[in-house]
Chains A and B, each alone.
Chain A
Amino acid sequence: MTSPHRLDSSVRAGRVDRTRRLRGTVDGVELSGHPGDTLASALLAEGRIVAAPSIHRGRPRGILAADCTEPNALVQLHGACPEPMLTATRVELYDGLVAESLSGVGRVGPEADTAVYDKKYVHADVVVIGAGPAGIAAALSAGRSGARVVLVDEQRELGGALLDGTERIDGHPATEWIGRAVRELVELPEVRVLTRASAVGCYEGNYLLVAEKRTDHLAEAGPQQPRQRLWHLRTQRVVLATGAHERPMVFADNDRPGIMLASAVRSYINRYAVLPGQQAVVFTTSDSAYTTALELLDAGARVPALVDTRPDPPAHLAEQVRAAGGQVYPGSAVVGTGGQERISSVRISELDEQGSLTGTPREVECDLLAVCGGWNPVVHLFSQAGGTVRWDPVVAGFLPEEPTGSLPKVVGAARGTYDLAGCLSQGLAAGAEAATTSGFRVAVPPVPPVAGDRPSTRPRPLWLVPAEEGTSEQWHTHFVDLQRDSTVADIWRALGAGMRSVEHVKRYTTISTGQDQGKTSGVNAVGVIADALMAGSPGEVGTTTHRPPYTPVPFALMAGRDRGGLHDPVRTTPMHSWHVAAGAVFEDVGQWKRARYYPRAGEDMDAAVQRECLAARTGVAMQDVSTLGRIEVVGPDAPEFLNRIYTNGFAKLPVGKARYGMMCTADGMVLDDGVSMRLAEDRYLMSTTTGGAAGVLDWLEEWLQTEWPHLGVHCTSVIEQWAAVAVVGPDSRAVVGRIAPELDVSAEAFGFMEFRDTVLRSGVPARICRVSFSGELAYEVNVPAWYGLAVWEEVAEAGADLGITPYGTETMHVLRAEKGFVIVGQDTDGTVTPLDLGMDWVVSRRKDFVGKRSFARPDTARTDRKQLVGLLPMDPQQQLPEGAHLVDPDGPRQPPVPMLGHVTSSYRSAALGRTFALALVADGRRRVGEVLCAPAGGTDIAVEVTKPIFYDEEGVRRDGRQYE
């Protein structure tokens, strides 16, 4: 395979490794190149300049740029890591690469991306973005101080624009200086260099996000090697040496393949040893493209015309071009192009002082048009960080305002300094200053002498090159945004619709909303608007806002490793392995996995829950309740503190006893509930709901730290210090008696809501509490968590002959609902008071507590609020859906239908032999006995309102079998 446009190495060596050949496929056609090639340079080497047709108008387009500003040459990568919407100028060629040209829209494949994307959090003293001459200089001077320095560059090797040119530093080719710098940086222990890494976000407080490509350029990566890495950098100082982007020009038919940025032409010639055309016209507004013309001539191309908008360009430059065989047309512009698939000619016209066309246009044949509309300093990151920009008429670009405070320092081309000596000098100074202000004092090194580059003379920007005919609103082939197919006519239409702000025009025309975020179009659009509005300068129009990311970032990279099993922690109890082995079906409760039920062969959930409920009501059952929240509340003021937090009193609770408590938010609504034990005069063990544990601890700390710092109380979370087994049912006394032989478990000796510390038969120390969430005789056996599994097995073994049955959260819900015990968060929703629940007995009238005052609010005090009631469907086999609304059976059925309330809990009860539910119903307690209606699934379910208790209303089962 030949690469006809690859320059002989005697003409240009380039930075490609010609000893190795890489092969890929683009649009089904084989492509070959060398290590060091991008997809774009390899295509150009084979003369393939044409990209996919444009997105809306289907016009032929070609490779325009050599960097991330490329608007046309979008590709979709296939293969192991399919990825849409990459620019051919940023994809490095590798063996086996398969790409497809895209007309502006890519596709996300259906397959999961299985490559490894990860993140890294690194702190530094100085971060330098951009490793062109200014950035390398800054990293060197900062790095020599011993400061922690990170140098970031998006290219595969350091050097930036120096790699595109032929400048000399210290009497040697600039590449030698780069080589020396790289060696020095690598040897500085606290300097880290990231290549193939794009700084995509720069945030307040010198926080940066850098997207690094690690294995994208390799045909094969090692196992588990991250493909891309998102670096989170925090640093004291930031130096931005992000360079400048060249602007294209806006003229008629400015979108043909073969029209390239002048700097890109130079880059392809020098860096990649590729000559993109043989007959090149250069069209410029400033000095820089003269170098491109000279490089073209030097590489063997003809330059029949160098068209300069300036009537008197620098004589030495024009003379050099002429001497090398080129023609110079000062005070002129390219006003049109010809050609089919590729440019074949340009029309050149003279300009008058106002920029209007004058004289007779001439036509010049060509296969390449190198354009330079001027330079845009890359101020994206500076703007993201909060910096402001101003229009500078001398350099004809938006420049960063001098930063204040800790805003990034901008150096080199990014602040409009385009000569090499200036870049080096600013970089060296900024690096030293950044290190010094970070606490690593260092002197500014001397600036080395340079050759081959000198300060430019003033450009003559021409935002809109007039067409030979028509008026601006008709110029439909003056493209401003190539990626969005937006033209001067589109801008005029937006202006005609009354828009003036560039932000509005941008959204109306979609200019700069493409994947490239307008890197080649944003400022040109501002220029065209300024021209149309006859503003004095683009500065009067202003700029659009630069937002992260600077270049596109895959979602997979943002997700990092937070996928699959690592997406969110799965919390398990010490007994989890037993539940798994027992075939439990699990339920997510926050991050916890809790056993929901334990189906036996052939059982569905209903059947399993009926069986588990029956065991708890008639025999003995056991549940893992380790997930409950637990907080030790300690200190001389602990009794007073709990009195203030709970609606009921805890100060007089005797040591050795426990009490159910409810807590409210300041507006009097139920926050959480649980049983607290008094361990000692100054020590309680509070329990909370599983889901409320963290919130309650925060709540307690908030009151202790902000309102009552004088209280001597400390709270310590001990959730996971304990594993707990609830042993429930009439036979639970026998089981607990067996495992705790030292304990007198009789009803007389061990009363309800009492606890005992004991040693189990196995030798395990335990705290056993008589507490019941089912209405049955029940014990909660608490042991240090590491004994959890052993004690669970001990209980199971001790109850085996009694048919002890493990049960899950579903059975727990049924059992408690039969007794009318609420679950905070299920039967309450933040708008429910304890009184609404009918739990007046838990609300003290004698003491103050958080939320008490709110009970006197008129709305909270009214008697017809939604209240907790029971519901019995008239058809005892029909189960209400939870969440179903309740309405008056005689009321209207056309919206608006007055809602009386809703179902909060609904189950099938083994003990009752029927279905039942709990609900919140307006004025519910007065409706007991009424029949309401729950429209559900197209039918009405008639329900009778009852008291919210269905089983053992007298509470006789709490103490177990009476004969014991």
Chain B
Amino acid sequence: MTVVSTNESSTEVAGLRRSPLAGRRDELAAAGVEGLRGVRLGEEPFLSQVNLRVLPASPAAAGVEQALGTILPREPNRVTGDEHDAALWLGPDEWLVVAPDGRADGIVEAARTAMADSPGSVVDVSANRTTLRLAGPTSREVLEKVCSLDLHPRAFRSGQCAQTLVGRAQVVLWQVGTEPAYRLMVRGSFADYLADLLLDAMAEFTHR
């Protein structure tokens, strides 16, 4: 997005934002359980997300890496960085740059400047998806009920991501911790469905 940048420290404007699951914060929090068979679900709203398309190993890609101070992973489904600042491999020439709230305009600006006239694309998609965080010892078991990927630690570890279906929703699935903890980045219109689906899958562990 290149809409005129606002003062992002303006809490007044930021306060007008409403994330897709804002109305369900308490419900999600209450559904979680702790302990050895625990699992928790919550929304991480407003993460900065920028979709990046650039030829890998090109001068433009190198320029972007330098400008953003991040390495664009070349191995499929890998993530560089940590859960605060990360680049997710989405395709051979496509990445999702993720950063804390309010950083999107800066990332877009820096990446476009670095890319200059080279073929490529930088698009702010921060409001396109929201992020659900599913964590806890049984979170993998919960995901295995609704996602057909191999999520065993031998196949999918912290620092890996995949574009996949969770239930019937397209999701960027990203393991962010070994607990395990996952981020599920989903388009806003599917957020309610995904929350319902995950709460339902959690029920066998949370209704003891």
Contact = CB atoms under 8 A, between A and B. Distances in A.
Contacts of B188: 574, 720, 785-786
B158 interface: no
B18 A224 contact: no
B57 interface: no
B17 A634 contact: no
Interface stretch (B6-14, B32-40, B73-81, B174-182): B6-14
A759 B7 CA distance: 11
A784 B123 CA distance: 13
Contacts of B124: 721
Interface string B157-178: 0000000000111000000000
Contact of B121 (A234, A561, A632): A632
Instruction: Point out which of B126, B128, B149, B208 has the most chain A C-beta atoms below 10 A from its C-beta.
Output: B128
A720 B128 contact: yes
Contact of B196 (A562, A566, A721): A566
B128 A719 contact: yes
A722 B13 contact: no
B201 interface: yes
A714 B53 contact: yes
Interface string B1-29: 11111100010110011111001000000
Interface residues of A, number: 64
Given A720-B128, A720-B129, A764-B13, A786 B144 contact: no
B197 A566 contact: yes
B127 A785 contact: yes
Given A763-B10, A763-B12, A569 B190 contact: yes
B153 to A, nearest CB: 10
Contacts of A445: none
Contact of A719 (B146, B187, B201): B187
Contacts of B53: 634, 714, 716
Which DSSP category, helix, strand, loop or mixed, fits chain B's interface?
loop
Interface residues of B, number: 60
Contact of B125 (A120, A721, A764): A721
Contacts of A763: 6, 10, 12-13, 16
A282 to B, nearest CB: 48
A759 B127 CA distance: 17
Interface in A89-146: 116, 118-123
Given A592-B189, A721-B125, A785-B127, A224 B207 contact: yes
A3 B129 CA distance: 65
A766 B17 contact: no
Nearest to A229: B145
Contacts of B187: 719-720
A569 B168 contact: yes
B110 to A, nearest CB: 16
Interface string B119-159: 11111111111000000000000001111111010110000
B6 A561 contact: no
Nearest to A721: B128
B30 interface: no
Contacts of B150: 123, 234
A524 interface: no
Nearest to B147: A121
Interface centre among B23, B53, B204 (most CB of A within 10 A): B204
Contacts of A223: 207
A141 B2 CA distance: 61
Nearest to B17: A786
A634 B123 contact: yes
B51 interface: yes
B63 to A, nearest CB: 16
Contacts of A577: 23
Given A577-B23, A790-B17, A759 B2 contact: no
Contact of B120 (A562, A572, A679, A714): A714
B193 A222 contact: no
Contacts of A627: 189
A569 B169 contact: yes
Contacts of B18: 574, 786-790
B38 to A, nearest CB: 15
Residue in B12, B23, B123 whose Cβ sees the most chain A Cβ within 10 Å: B123
A570 B197 CA distance: 12
B154 A148 contact: yes
A844 interface: no
Contacts of A636: 117, 119
A637 B121 CA distance: 12
A543 interface: no
A719 B1 CA distance: 12
Contacts of A757: 2-4
Contacts of A783: 3
B6 A571 contact: no
Nearest to B188: A720
A573 interface: yes
A232 B128 contact: no
Interface string A764-807: 11110000000000000001111111100000000000000000
Contacts of B117: 636
Interface of B: 1-6, 10, 12-13, 16-20, 23, 45-46, 51, 53, 117, 119-129, 144-150, 152, 154-155, 167-169, 187-190, 192-194, 196-197, 200-201, 203-204, 206-208
30 contacts: A116-B204, A118-B145, A120-B144, A122-B144, A123-B155, A224-B203, A232-B148, A234-B150, A569-B167, A569-B168, A569-B190, A569-B194, A570-B193, A572-B192, A574-B188, A632-B121, A679-B2, A714-B121, A716-B53, A716-B121, A717-B128, A718-B123, A719-B128, A721-B1, A763-B10, A765-B5, A765-B6, A785-B128, A788-B18, A789-B18
Given A566-B197, A636-B119, A789-B18, 8 more contacts: A119-B145, A223-B207, A561-B201, A574-B18, A759-B6, A785-B128, A785-B188, A786-B17
